Amino acid sequence: MTSTTINPHGHTSQEKAVVNKTQHLTTASWATRRDEKRNRIESVQPWMRGPILAPEKIVDALELLLKRGDRVVLEGDNQKQADFLSLVGAG
């Protein structure tokens, strides 16, 4: 036989456990994304010259930075960027 208690906020002990578990998972998800982004950026740091990426390392950098399932968005007048990415990606 299980006993259920109701706390002052009107939640049962079982409901509170579910709420806490959900909040914890949400927090972990955001930290995971932030950590993954930081790790990807740090992986190309050796090829950087200040804020500039060495041109001969663009393919290597894209292979490290982009993972399967990532979405790439080009904004503004992006035909030059699209042409460039298609050339280096096909090479």
pLDDT at 52: 93
pTM over 0.85: no
In a domain, 41, yes or no: yes
Residues 57 and 44 sit within 8 Å (Cβ to Cβ): yes
pLDDT at 19: 47
- Name the residue range of residue 37's domain: 13-90
Is the model's pLDDT at 49 over the cut of 80? yes
12-28 average pLDDT score: 50
* Domain total of the chain: 1
In a domain, 72, yes or no: yes
- Residue 53 CB burial class (10 angstroms; 0-12, 13-18, ≥19): middle
